[in-house]
Chain A
Amino acid sequence: MNDSLISLLTALGDDELIIGHRHSEWTGHAPHIEEDVAFSSIAQDEIGHATAFYELLAQITGDDPDRLALGRSPDEYRHAILCERPNGDWAYTLARHWLYDTADALRLEALSGTAHKDLAAVAVKLQREERYHMLHATTWMSRIAHGPVEGRARLIDSITKAFAEALALFEPIELEEEAVKEGWLPVPSDEMRSRFLAHAADGLDQLGLPAEVVSPSDQSAEFVASSSGDLIERNGNGADGREWQPSGLGGRRGTHSPDFDALWDEMTVTYRENPGVTW
């Protein structure tokens, strides 16, 4: 059955689209003009990656990539909550960029072994750009980490904030068991999460940043089933009464934070108000 493959491709495409959308919001006011130009390329790359995944989806379902990107309702998106968070300051943006691309590198590496030959080819192709993204992120992290006290403090603070939510990039996808069985997902999410944890801790260590942010206590939050059947962390509930997960979980099941509401509205407004037209 294709449903688990569709679930996988949707999660992949949505992660790239939403983080690409956030990255593109820096255009015109990044901290340094040359960096403004550089970061825009990274944003365009991510949107291009999303396009590649949506095109694979389109091949399977007969749907249209633009409709997939811009025509679904908010609870149909399957990206991790980390991706929808506002850019915050440059420190948060860098921390998220580094964490996301570290995770993405591992994910693409694993996906190059997928049973789906077209997806494997896409994964290999995308790895080329991701190598550069990693270089960019690491170069910046290194400069801030080894720089004046204020920048270093902001960065550490941002990594701590982003890290728990970054782990949720490896929240199991819907129909994960089937996806693993069919070979679409070569490495299960739990295993990927462990790899990411080890890799990120090592990376932070090499950058001279405290790896305590990735302490074991972050991983073993106690989960309980909510009334809707979603898993929520024992210590988390949205102030607006909506069930959203402070640890960044829920995205893979279509449960997003209030931050996604405004993003979705702005991103999809032109498309939604004029369905089916050519632009």
Chain B
Amino acid sequence: MDVYEVFRRSGHKDPFEHCGAVIAPDPQMALMMAKECFLRRREGHHLWVVRRSDVHSFSDESLLEIAGDKSYRFASAYRDVVKKREKARARAEELAGA
């Protein structure tokens, strides 16, 4: 028997989410048991079961660390847009008046 990690998705807006694990002899039984253990209250409509041995992860989390400034990946880097719009409008007026 193996540990199968269970993922469920409700509807179509959100991705699959991990919700627990079952111990089962094969994928078909794992699906049946996962349905009973994790979908009794209709928490999802779709189910994945994955053998734990097929799940991979980083053992060294320092590999996920960021060194430099990567603020350009976030909308907060563009908070000065109001000031910049003002500046551009003023320049346009300036040119129109010339």
Chain A residues near B (Cβ < 8 Å): 32-35, 37-38, 41, 135-136, 139, 143
Query: Which B residue sits closest to A33, measured CB to CB?
Result: B23
CB–CB B25/A34 < 8 A: no
Q: Does B28 contact A (CB under 8 A)?
A: yes
- The interface residues of chain B lying within 8 Å CB-to-CB of A41 are 36, 40
- The interface residues of chain B lying within 8 Å CB-to-CB of A32 are 23
Q: Does B33 contact A (CB under 8 A)?
A: yes
**CB interface residues, B 34-71, toward A, < 8 Å:** 35-37, 40
Partner of A35, one of B28, B33, B35, B40: B33
CA gap between A13 and B37 in the complex, in Å: 28
**CB interface residues, B 5-33, toward A, < 8 Å:** 22-26, 28-29, 32-33
CB–CB A37/B32 < 8 A: no
CB A101 to nearest CB in B, in angstroms, measures 14
- The interface residues of chain B lying within 8 Å CB-to-CB of A135 are 32
Residue from A32, A33, A34 with most neighbouring chain B CB atoms (10 Å): A34
Partner of A38, one of B23, B28, B36: B36
CB–CB A139/B29 < 8 A: yes
CB–CB A37/B29 < 8 A: no
CA gap between A136 and B24 in the complex, in Å: 14
CA gap between A35 and B35 in the complex, in Å: 11
- The interface residues of chain B lying within 8 Å CB-to-CB of A37 are 33, 36-37
CA gap between A38 and B33 in the complex, in Å: 6
CB B51 to nearest CB in A, in angstroms, measures 15
| Given contacts A34-B22, A34-B23, A41-B40, A139 and B28 within 8 Å (CB-CB) | yes
- The interface residues of chain A lying within 8 Å CB-to-CB of B23 are 32-34
- The interface residues of chain B lying within 8 Å CB-to-CB of A34 are 22-24, 33, 36-37
Partner of A143, one of B22, B25, B35, B40: B25
- The interface residues of chain B lying within 8 Å CB-to-CB of A143 are 25-26, 29
CB B10 to nearest CB in A, in angstroms, measures 19
Query: Could you give 7 example pairs across A and B, Cβ below 8 Å?
Result: A34-B33, A38-B32, A38-B36, A38-B37, A41-B36, A136-B32, A139-B29
CA gap between A125 and B30 in the complex, in Å: 26
CB A132 to nearest CB in B, in angstroms, measures 8
Residue from B25, B28, B29 with most neighbouring chain A CB atoms (10 Å): B29
- The interface residues of chain A lying within 8 Å CB-to-CB of B37 are 34, 37-38
CA gap between A151 and B35 in the complex, in Å: 25
CB B8 to nearest CB in A, in angstroms, measures 15
CB A163 to nearest CB in B, in angstroms, measures 25
CB A264 to nearest CB in B, in angstroms, measures 29
Pairs A-B, 4 closest by C-beta atoms:
A34-B33, A38-B36, A37-B36, A34-B22
Query: Which B residue sits closest to A35, measured CB to CB?
Result: B33
CB B19 to nearest CB in A, in angstroms, measures 14
CA gap between A35 and B22 in the complex, in Å: 10
Query: Which B residue sits closest to A41, measured CB to CB?
Result: B36
CA gap between A229 and B69 in the complex, in Å: 93
Residue from A33, A38, A41, A143 with most neighbouring chain B CB atoms (10 Å): A38
